[in-house]
Structure 1
Amino acid sequence: MVKDKKSTDFEKPELYMNRELSWLQFNERVRFEAEDESNPLFERLKFLSISASNLDEFFMVRVASLKDMINADYKKPDIAGMTPIEQLDAVLTEVHKFVDKQYQIYNKQLIPALLENGLKITDGSDLSATDLEYVDRYFDEYVYPVLTPMAVDSSRPFPLIRNKSLNIGALLKKKEGKDDVDFATVQVPDVLPRVLEIPCEDNGICPRKIMLLEQIIKRNMQKLFLNYDIITSASYRVGRNADLSIDEDEAEDLLKEIEKQIKRRQWGQAIRLEVPKGIDKKLLKFIAKELSVEDNEIYMIDGPLDLTFLFKMYKLEGFEHLKEHSYAEPQPVPEFEGGENIFDVIQRGDILMHHPYQTFENVVKFVETAAVDPNVLAIKQTLYRVSGNSPIIAALAKAADNGKQVTVLVELKARFDEENNIVWAKMLEKAGCHVIYGLVGLKTHCKITLVVRRQEDGIMRYVHLGTGNYNDSTAKQYTDVGLFTCAPAIGEDATAVFNMLSGYSEPLGWNKLSLAPLWLKDRIIDLIRREAEHARAGESARIVAKMNAICHKDVIAELYKASSAGVKIDLIVRGICCLRTGIPGVSENITVRSIVGNYLEHSRIFYFENGGSPEFYASSADWMPRNLERRVEILFPVEDKRLKEKMWNILDTELKDTEKAHVMNSKGIYVKKTASDGEKVNSQKIFGQEAVSAAKKFDAGSSRVFIPEMNPDAKT
């Protein structure tokens, strides 16, 4: 154990990993699932599609941010000591390797496996005359009327190519006349399916065949340019800077300003150009020059551009046997299965839900019941991302129509959901709700609902707190926890939260909740320091923290100090982790693992052993600067003994995962964990089985609930 190390010793750049490179490691773990032959084939398609979608957003936001810093001559190094130029060079080098590996998996593993299972992706070169007739007829009837070929010459400048759109560029020469070469481009329309299945000629005996829309267009390009010969043509795809830049202090109307910025997102600076390998050099040179992209921003693709089409293939019927079916459907929450009024159930005791293993429907029902309950006086809720046809939005509008006081904070700055949130905000306003458009300079990322109800013994406040969004769609794919409570102390804090959001009321203190950006970081650091003190005093000290990302230097430095004091620290971090493990005298007592499975790990759960009196917390916040310093976030305690057991079970099971866990080694590299004794543990499947078991064991005539026993080795 190292004692009394100077604080500066824990802040050296070599103790930290670069955020962007760490994120790329996460996406490699996603890509690994596409490579892993133990996964069903169509699940592997899905994971490769997700890795491509992730990379798109990474470029639009993170790479774009590095480009902006370089353009602004910003040279301050990050926590790992890398300047923006160094980061960008390292990132682009790694991305080129990453993309090459994606297409190796696609070409050498997935395509042959699909063919073995009766599905062929064709470019048309091996189709029969009958098949080609079908393809050409489809083009003539459905595709041709939608296309808009655009020529480029002295009177028609190079068109604005939309972000992430798939296009086909061509070099043309007039059939008669000068030998001048012209350029033309046509966008592959996203209003049509990208995947076309070609009917089988042999009564179902032949392999099923699909052809991509861009290949259909390329085959029929001559029909678009009747007076020209097509010298060469190729697909291309552009990625642009899509990070909104909003001066909230200067914006007179935040909603209108965001609407204006959303439109500009499609035309941001080009930061990536994808083209097929073998593209004509003259054609590539022309496109690259017009888009002002540099050589290291050009990606030569050995296969179809934009692998997100694989998710469309995932939905093809007839291949259910190639998909994962061993995960349980969302199960009923036992406490709510007795048919009682939801408020009476919550009054009996706090309820913790684990999604998606347990259904999200009770959260929806909570708001829907409040909307029609004559004793409910007010509903207050924060909304960050909601689904396209949200039942919660409908319930809030109904509540306002029923005369309830409804206050909703709709975060307009939720990245890539701005447009959707603007629509809901306007609808709620028309319904009579009081809508708050977030706070100047901050994103409101916390997930909280407050229902104020009149009862015989006075006013009662019912609260829901969660780690995930109020989105009934993503709640089926993201792992999160949510707490229902009517504890007076939390109810008072919830009221203070909404008073702070809607006005200028800043409470002098909090009963149970801790909020960012003013209090939460200090609370986390205090809890870590308390464990270090317990360790120095020879008392039991341990931290288990599960989150999406950790890159806050102050928090990591405190973890290093706690580790050096003897605190055992186990981190379960899905994505970015700038902390390094196994550094002598610094992080020898720290482990880091990442779980990438069928569901997106999204919950934030924290355990502090506290000298034998353990405390559990859940939060909307990761340990990142943006969460702790630039967002409104909430950390809330889970204090009921039964619920603490449930929280421990989540953490303990994930620490034992041997199928979906990747563990960081001392070199900062993640290695897939394997069962040393042959026992396989898939935490996500176990949670599903436990939810099924709990639902079956519940006696609808009582309030008894089956809770998995806490690990007997745990000090709780």
Structure 2
Amino acid sequence: MNEIMINDNYFNRELSWLEFNQRVIDEAKDNSNPLLERLKFLSISTSNLDEFFMVRVGTIYDQINAGFGKKDFSGLTPKDQIKKIFEKVRVMVGDQYSTYNHLYDHLGARNIRIFTYDMLNEEQLKFVKEYYKKVIYLVLTPMVIDSGRPFPLLHSKTLNIGIILEGLRGEEILGTIQVPSVLDRLVAIPGGEGENFILLEEVIKSNLDELFGFKILSSIFYRITKNADLTLDEEGAEDLLETIEASLKQRKWGMSVRLEIEDSNDLRVVKRLKKEFEIDEEQIFLITGPIDLTFLNNLYGINGFDSLRFEKKKSISIKELDNEDMFQAISKRDIFLHHPFESFSSIVKLVEQAAIDPKVLAIKQALYRVSGHSPIISALAKAAENGKQVTVLVELKARFDEKNNIFWARELEKAGCHVIYGVIGLKIHSKILLIVRKERNGIKRYVHLGSGNYNDVTARFYTDIGILTARPEYGEDATTIFNMLSGYFKPEKMSKITIAPMNLRNKLEFLIDRETENAKRGKQARIIAKMNSLVDRKLITSLYMASKEGVKIDLIVRGICCLVPGELGLSENIRVISIVGRYLEHSRIHYFYNKGNEEFYISSADWMYRNLDKRVETMTQVEDNNIKEELKDILDVYMRDNVKGRVLLPNGSYVRADINGERVSAQDMLFDISEKYNKD
């Protein structure tokens, strides 16, 4: 039985997430993916693991330090989880570096080379020494640790070199130097065909004699990861923005949760670092390659190697939105958007048009994660400058985007927008835009509802969905939501949109239970649900009950899945598939057969406790029949994916879907589906 299977009915959340990251590594190992794409997957797996340690592992250590020993619903205590996590991650890291070494050889065969210092020829050595002298040396800060100079405060994830120096009396002295993040880690060097590089840390390590006035006895690379999970006293905060700004500064003081260190026979630096960081042996990872493989993402972008990347695909433009006034087009019918298969520029264009349209009176929008140079933000600021009533809900607590969101919140305020910094005790994760326009027949509301962040960058590689509509019932619901978020208004009745934490959980339970009751009566019953994560115990229990009564259930879950599928007497009617491919699956779509009166919903929420009870989320019922048909086609192609689809087994492991006949790659076929529904 797979190690993530502890309780017979539930998989452990953390171990299930590690299974997801393994699927990302498997894409790096997949020979059918182009070489540079495989490097990118390996880089992503490293970045994923960094965040996992900073947030999830950090949280579990907080529980242990607080004396919390209660088992989770998979049957594991926090200490049990830590033990199993480190066992699994140790194997995973070994897999990452064996994959890296394999891809390293393939890079060389394609004239992309990463040199070590001892591999440089005379010309390259001269170039590197000159670069070190004129650039690198000027930004380095060598530090020696003694009674007058304590060990420095190191930021999480920074790459460093630990050094043992021989003192004047022969004693061993610890030194450290940070590899500067302000310089490119990949240093381009001359010589030969193709592209040649050396890593910045290699250059520094080979020139340490020039930095310290003592003999170098030993030197190794290391990187520390710290707990970055923030605890906020929102109730006692007079100014949420200032409270979050202050809490961000606390991250550098977080407890050390992982130490990655260059594999070496000389353990003197390891012993000193272990003491300095107050870290246990189980938290130390000896790395047989470059520490921190996220640099591979920079290698991915080198010019002249297009054949080593996926073929570029162009997003489809929505014809009505291109050929006529956008408000007229939305008034005629609901318009479905599926990114990146259909261009996100339509949303940007809509906000930009609203900003300069003299008939537009107000714009209201909820923002969770936006890009560094967001055209949405620029358009909202312009709208305010043009005298429109602009209200923007900026979620300051979006993890690792807090600093960016604080900056944009202040910029919007400067432009004259009303900015709301979230809701105490909740994160605003809903994706909603409301435009109020004065027209010939009175005031009309235009609404966009979706699953994705209003981020023009991530829209290129996240799969997300949304609907543009001018139906009055959606406009009324959207107005109610914004009034609720900006004031103390409590919605009593909603027509087409269901909100968390008010009633989204109850709505989902009702929809699942309705299928269960229909199956009990001998009627056909069917559920299809696509999401990022399935963790919520109550909903999983409802799905088990539905399965026992004969409801056929297909779940398309990209990441964490705590539900055990295919278990006789429990979940034999449930199939779970995960799609990991070129694009990050991020859309949430739910289908319920409902005795033939089929219902479709799109949502911003995953089926997790935090989304249903601790966040402001939306789930929207789809009314347009054409959109329903397209959603049905989308779900069908996902369920048939036998190229990037992995099926979850009852023991917690994933296997490639069987290829019987036609090869089906959902992410490729979704371009065809978008073309089909956007023809004249």
Q: Which TM-score applies when normalising by structure 1?
A: 0.93
Deviation at 1:694, TM superposition (A): 5.3
Question: Given the alignment of the two structures, is residue 76 of structure 1 paired with residue 70 of structure 2, yes or no?
Answer: yes
1:219 to 195, 200, 206: 206
Letter in 2 for 1:447: K
Contact 2:320 2:326 in 1 (8 A): no
Q: Which residue of 2 aligns with 1:122?
A: 115
Match of 2:607 in 1: 623
- Report the alpha carbon displacement of residue 674 of structure 1 after superposing the two structures with TM: 3.4
Pairing partner for 2:33 from 33, 39, 46: 39
Report what 1:93 is aligned to.
87
* Number of the residue aligned with 1:318: 304
One-letter identity of the residue aligned with 1:213: L
**Is residue 181 of structure 1 aligned with residue 164 of structure 2?**
no
- Kept after mapping to 1: 8 A contact 2:127/2:189: yes
Is 1:448–1:466's contact at 8 Å kept on the other side of the alignment? yes
Amino acid at match of 1:72: A
Deviation at 1:335, TM superposition (A): 2.4
Q: Which whole-Å deviations, capped at 9, do the CAs of 1:360-391 have from their partners, x for residues lacking one?
A: 01111111111111111111110000000011
Q: Distance in 2 between matches of 1:451 and 1:337?
A: 19
Q: Deviations over 1:263-310 (max 9, x none)?
A: 121221110000011152111100111011100000000100000010
Residue 508 of structure 1 is aligned with which of 460, 468, 492?
A: 492
Note if contact 1:328-1:689 (Cα within 8 Å) is conserved in structure 2: no
Which of 166, 180, 204 matches 2:159? 166
Q: Distance in 1 between matches of 2:266 and 2:246?
A: 38
2:185 to 190, 194, 215: 194
Q: 329-338 vs 444-453, which deviates more?
A: 329-338
1:549 aligns with 2:533: yes
1:285 and 2:271 matched: yes
Cα distance in structure 2, aligned partners of 1:111 and 1:394: 42
Residue 125 (structure 2) aligns with: 132
> Partners in 1 of 2:508 and 2:341 — Cα distance?
28
Whole-angstrom distance in 2 between the partners of 1:511 and 1:549? 27
Distance in 2 between the 1:629 and 1:208 partners? 51
Aligned counterpart, 1:15: 9
Aligned to 1:687: 670
Closer/same/farther in 2, CA of residues 208 and 364 from structure 1, 3 Å limit = closer
3-state SS of the aligned residue for 2:361? strand
- TM-fit CA distance, 1:692: 4.5
Q: How many aligned positions are there? A: 675
- Residue 269 of structure 1: aligned partner: 255
Please give the alpha-carbon distance, in whole angstroms, between the structure 2 residues aligned to 1:674 and 1:239: 39
The match for 2:398 is: 414
Residue 240 (structure 1) shift: 0.3
Give the Cα–Cα distance (whole angstroms) in 2 for the partners of residues 317 and 149 of structure 1.
Answer: 35
Match of 1:332 in 2: 317
The verdict on how the C-alpha distance between 1:244 and 1:48 changes in structure 2, with shifts beyond 3 A counting, is: same
Residues 1:569 and 2:542 aligned together: no
Question: Conserved in 1, the CA contact under 8 Å of 2:462 and 2:583?
Answer: yes
Deviations 1:292-333 (A, max 9, x none): 1100000000100000010011111222111110x5221101
Percent identity between the two aligned chains: 51
Q: What is the CA–CA distance in structure 2 between the aligned matches of 1:267 and 1:406, rounded to whole Å?
A: 38
TM-score by length of 2: 0.98
Whether the aligned pair in 2 keeps the contact of 1:163 and 1:267 (CA below 8 Å) is no
Q: How far apart are the structure 2 equivalents of 1:357 and 1:279?
A: 51
Residue 209 of structure 1, CA deviation: 2.3
Provide the rounded CA distance (Å) in 1 between the counterparts of 2:246 and 2:515: 49
Deviates more, 1:380-389 or 1:362-371: 362-371
1:656 to 624, 640, 654: 640
| Per-residue Cα deviation, 1:79-114 (whole angstroms, up to 9, x for no partner) | 10111111111111101110011111111x201111
Can you list the C-alpha shifts for 1:462-513, whole angstroms capped at 9, x where unaligned?
0000100011110111000010011111111111000000001102111111
Paired residue for 1:362?
346
**Per-residue CA shift, 1:593-631, capped at 9, x if unaligned?**
000010000000000011111100000000000000000
Aligned residue for 1:210? 197
Residue 337 of structure 1 deviates from its aligned partner by: 2.5
SS of 1:546's equivalent? strand
- In structure 2, the partner of 1:148 is 141
CA contact (8 A) 2:630 2:673 kept: no
- The Cα shift of 1:144 comes to 0.4
Q: In structure 1, give the amino acid aligned to 2:35.
A: L
Instruction: Supply the distance in 2 between the matched residues of 1:582 and 1:51 (Cα, whole angstroms).
Output: 28
Structure 2: runs of 5 or more not aligned: 1-5
What is the rounded CA distance, in whole Å, between the counterparts of 2:133 and 2:335 in structure 1?
59
Distance in 2 between residues matched to 1:43 and 1:484, nearest whole Å: 34
Q: Separation in 1 of the partners of 2:454 and 2:172? A: 55
RMSD of Structure 2 on Structure 1 (CA) = 1.1
Give structure 1 stretches of 5+ with no counterpart: 1-11, 699-716
Residue 691 of structure 1, CA deviation: 3.2
**Residues 103-161 of structure 1 deviation map (CA, whole Å, 9 limit, x = unaligned):** 11111x20111111112221111211221111111111110001011110110000111
Task: Name 1:711's counterpart in structure 2.
Answer: none
Q: Following superposition, which runs of at least 4 residues in structure 1 exceed 3 angstroms of deviation?
A: 689-695
Separation in 2, partners of 1:470, 1:349: 22
Amino acid across the alignment from 1:259: E
1:104 equivalent in alignment to 2:104? no
What is the deviation of 1:693?
5.5
What SS does structure 1 have at the residue aligned with 2:293? coil
Check whether the contact 1:334–1:694 (CA below 8 A) recurs between aligned residues.
Answer: no
